[in-house]
A and B are shown apart, each in its own frame.
Chain A
């Protein structure tokens, strides 16, 4: 698939999405229609064969509620189920639930505080115990248990008075209306209550190493440092599984990961995927499908806007105009990424398509600075009121493409009288205190702003979310705009997608104007798998390429 094709696919998907959103976010439950697409292939009647997924990091956390990294999610999606899931079009659909609660169907009260979720009655855990509302209650309570080393408590911490009405119905009250909670629940796998019976410390439960789920695959075994093997769950209540064995193989080096994909040792190349420099070569391997799939992460230069150099919006605009985005994309990333103007991924229901396009124009950049009173001083570096236009940019050291990107930016900025110095640090250092306490001038970073498919970004853009100012959140660039604050607050209280969309469109407009960060591009990940495997559908809204392994199958 060429880049052009993927872009046009995005466009048509967007219009399809508008239609879908208008007819209500909750789709009709129809597993038979999912995953088939245009291909006339049908999956085998009984699970057959094995698929080996290669990953460049090792999944080690098997309790899906515990502190984890992205790569653990692929395994969780296969062993467990959430109440709802987000499909490739960004539409939330029911999984363990029978319908997605909304204000229209009465699942969520008019004030957004009372939630009612109806559950399937035909689901059993891998050990044969029936799944009930008690398990859902237990899951949410475990997440907010102060002793439990939970991954993320956002949304769950607002839940009060969980009541099990019947084995298939559960209700709760929210401390305040919070519409993104639906998306948080799509990333919350339900765990079995009975697996924790008599367990004193949930952090040390045997379950954490021998997980029991409701999902399409059962945990078979793990060879530490090497691979994890899952076996088909013949009694799965939903679509699939169609393969007998699913293996996640850990291959620590990206070059080796690629050569094992080439040699056929692995059937599908997962997280970290095919590196851009190997993309052209990958397309020439016989019997492999290579597909570019957009990533939700946005690569950006993020400013610490409290620094005197960056307080003036004219400076941020001038820097943006002085970045040759296309050259970076073409010369460093082999043309794979798509230029971006916002913090949301391309082409989603909530992504504002009408934002102004950045133009690489050094003269315009110079003029912006001249007009704002920044005049060349010592060494040709511009200054104003004793502030020199000189700053440090940092990123994770060892990431060669990012390091070269910095050099590209450094060069063009020098031409307009701005001095950028590069100070890179190892991941554990840069993303520690330095980052969370806003001790940086600027960073080059890839950030996923959304949770699931929800556009709420309060955590990253609200002025109250800056730890350096005593706030709780991840607004480390210290961005503050009262109108954005207001819209963000309102946006989480409203459930109607159309109404929310207007607000987030406006937020994106303001942020594009303010430029607290300079959006560079969205990555397109080069996925690959062996021809003969069907059903693989990379999903922008799920944290793993293996989110729908239940529907994968071999054609022959």
Chain B
């Protein structure tokens, strides 16, 4: 186990370095750069632009900029946002909790409902339920979240006036109930697609397991169908789901751009897009590294959990 972890750590560090080099280079290769957006400001001169480039260190060679960034990063200094003037870590932290709240809620909904639909679809294969679930999943997967969000706002906020049209809370309120009512629409819209994904995977995983010998053995032993399903089928079918969940961990933190935009949710997805459109390099690099770390971490955790749950797998 120890050598496995050490090995993975070494691989991860190399991967992170590569990601950072590619990210930094690509970002800086885009012509224009962080000052382009000020080119149309009335009264702004080229002299001012040159001065700003010098003050921000943007006039240095790319290599120098990269090593400067890397050296600071290694010392735990993620840099300062161009747009915001605040440390990158603070900027990210401020958006993180909004995303965690939304993604967490939506994940609980989608995993819960998706797992149930998947299992029921597999055990009642070719039933009306299965057909409806399959068709529903295809519809949910093929219609853009953006559309779902806008239709949701039109129906529930503008027409019926049951739910707010967006935002995380009412300015000046911010009670638990206020947060809860604001969470309903975005988390369900976001969950819709994930329910579809999750139910499809769960259905096929369950089908893989359901006809295996050990399930027949369990039935032959005289266990109730319910007990066979809960103890033998679902437990085994969930194994591949752990890997899937691990791969979704970075999504949990990187946010849902479209949903966050439609529902004006101040999360990580918005932060990423805003930082990109402002060419706020320090924040973009920070987010890139964070999501790279999370991807590696998610995979690692999934591997370990699968090994712990399934005694047949040994980590080496």
A residues apposed to B, CB below 8 Å: 50, 52, 58, 60-61, 63, 66-67, 69, 146-154, 184, 187, 203-204, 208-209, 223-227, 229, 245, 247, 249-253, 255-256, 259-260, 262-263, 265, 296, 426-436, 445-451, 459, 465, 467, 471-474
**Of B32, B84, B262, which contacts A430 at CB under 8 A?**
B32
Q: Is B33 an interface residue (CB 8 A)?
A: yes
Please name the 8 residue pairs, one residue from A and one from B, whose CB atoms are nearest each other, closest first: A432-B32, A225-B266, A428-B32, A432-B36, A226-B266, A451-B43, A224-B94, A263-B165
Find chain B residues with CB under 8 A from A52 CB: 171
Instruction: Contacts A149-B56, A225-B270, A251-B264 given; indicate if A60 touches B84 (C-beta within 8 A).
Output: yes
B 158-177 binary contact with A (CB < 8 Å = 1; else 0): 10000011111001100000
Contact of B270 among A252, A434, A447, A472 (CB under 8 A): A252
Which residues of A lie under 8 Å from residue B52 when comparing CB positions? Answer: 67, 149
Q: Identify which of B153, B154, B171, B271 contacts A225 (C-beta below 8 A).
A: B271
Nearest A residue to B165 via CB reads A263
Q: Which residues of A contact B277 (CB under 8 A)?
A: 427-428
Query: CB distance B46 to A224 under 8 Å?
Result: no
Identity of the chain B residue whose Cβ is nearest the Cβ of A456 in the assembled complex? B43
Contacts A225-B98, A433-B31, A436-B46: A67 and B171 contacting too (C-beta < 8 A)?
Answer: no
Contact B166 A428 (CB under 8 A): no
Query: Which residues of B are found within 8 Å of A204, using beta-carbon distances?
Result: 85
A–B Cβ pairs within 8 angstroms, 21 of them:
A61-B83, A67-B38, A149-B55, A152-B43, A154-B48, A184-B43, A225-B266, A247-B171, A249-B167, A249-B171, A252-B274, A259-B150, A259-B153, A427-B37, A428-B31, A428-B277, A429-B31, A429-B36, A430-B36, A431-B36, A432-B35
- Cα–Cα, bound, A437→B172 (Å): 48
Partner of B45, one of A58, A60, A69, A472: A472
B36 in contact with A428 (CB, 8 Å): yes
The complex places the Cα of A450 from the Cα of B44 at a distance, in Å, of 11
Residues of B near A247 (CB, < 8 A) are 171
Q: In the docked arrangement, what's the CA distance between A447 and B39, Å?
A: 10
List, in ascending order, chain B residues with CB within 8 A of A63's CB. 85
CB neighbours (8 Å) of B36 from chain A are 427-432, 435
Please report the C-alpha to C-alpha distance between residue A150 and residue B56 in the assembled complex, in whole angstroms: 11
Residues of A within 8 A of B164 (CB): 263, 265
A262 nearest CB neighbor, chain B only: B158
CB distance from A21 to the nearest CB of B (A): 22
Q: Among B49, B56, B158, B266, point to the contact of A250 (Cβ < 8 A).
A: B266
18 A-B pairs besides A249-B264, A256-B264, A427-B32 with CB distance below 8 A are: A61-B85, A67-B38, A67-B52, A69-B37, A151-B44, A153-B47, A224-B266, A249-B171, A250-B266, A256-B261, A260-B165, A263-B153, A263-B157, A265-B164, A265-B167, A427-B277, A432-B31, A472-B47
Complex Cα spacing A249 to B263, Å: 13
Q: How far is the CB of A125 from chain B (nearest CB, A)?
A: 21
Contact in complex: A429, B30 (CB < 8 Å): yes
Q: Does B286 contact A (CB under 8 A)?
A: no
Contact A208 B85 (CB under 8 A): yes
Give the distance to chain A from B183, nearest Cβ to Cβ, in Å. 15
Give every chain A residue within 8 A of B262 (Cβ-Cβ). Answer: 253, 256
Closest residue to B98 on the A side, CB-wise?
A: A225
**Chain A residue, CB-CB nearest to B94:** A224
8 Å CB contact of A255 from B33, B91, B150, B274: B150
* Chain A residues within 8 Å of B263, by CB: 256
Q: Determine the distance from Cα of A58 to Cα of B30 in the docked complex, in whole angstroms.
A: 23
Given contacts A147-B55, A474-B46, whether A253 and B261 have CB atoms under 8 Å apart is yes
Q: How far is the CA of A552 from the CA of B42 in the complex (A)?
A: 27
Flag if B270 contacts A436 (CB, 8 Å): no
CA distance in complex: A162, B32 (Å): 37
Residues of B within 8 A of A472 (CB): 45-47
Chain B: which residue is nearest A205 at the CB level?
A: B85
Residues A250 and B264 in contact, CB atoms below 8 Å apart: yes
Chain B 126-165 per-residue mask, 1 if CB under 8 angstroms from chain A, else 0: 0000000000000000000000001001100110000011
Per the bound structure, the CA–CA distance linking A474 and B266 in Å amounts to: 36
Query: In the complex the two chains form, what is the Cα distance from A450 to B43 in whole Å?
Result: 7
Establish whether residues A259 and B168, one from each chain, have CB atoms under 8 Å apart when the complex forms: no
In whole angstroms, how far apart are the Cα atoms of A61 and B34 in the complex?
A: 15
CB distance from B175 to the nearest CB of A (A): 16
Q: Give bound CA distance, A259 to B286, whole Å.
A: 33
Task: Return the chain B residue nearest A183 by Cβ.
Answer: B43
Residues of B within 8 Å of A449, CB to CB, are: 42
Residue B20, interface by CB 8 Å: no
B114 within 8 A of A: no
Interface residue? B118 (CB, 8 A): no
B261 in contact with A429 (CB, 8 Å):
no
Contact with A along B245-278 (1 / 0, CB 8 A): 0000000000000000111101100110110010
Residue of A nearest to B260 (CB): A252
Q: Is B316 an interface residue, CB under 8 A from the partner?
A: no
A249 to chain B: which residues have CB within 8 Å?
167, 171, 264
Scoring A229, A262, A296, A428 by chain B CB atoms within 10 A of each residue's CB, the highest score goes to A428
On chain B, the residues within 8 Å of A208 by CB distance are 85
- Across-interface contacts of A435 in B (CB, < 8 A): 36, 39
A383 to chain B, nearest CB (A): 31
Cβ–Cβ < 8 Å partners of A151 in chain B? 41, 44, 48
Q: Which residues of A contact B168 (CB under 8 A)?
A: 226
Query: In the complex, which of the residues A148, A154, A224, A429 contacts B43, with contact meaning CB atoms closer than 8 Å?
Result: A154
Q: B266 contacts which chain A residues (CB < 8 A)?
A: 223-226, 250
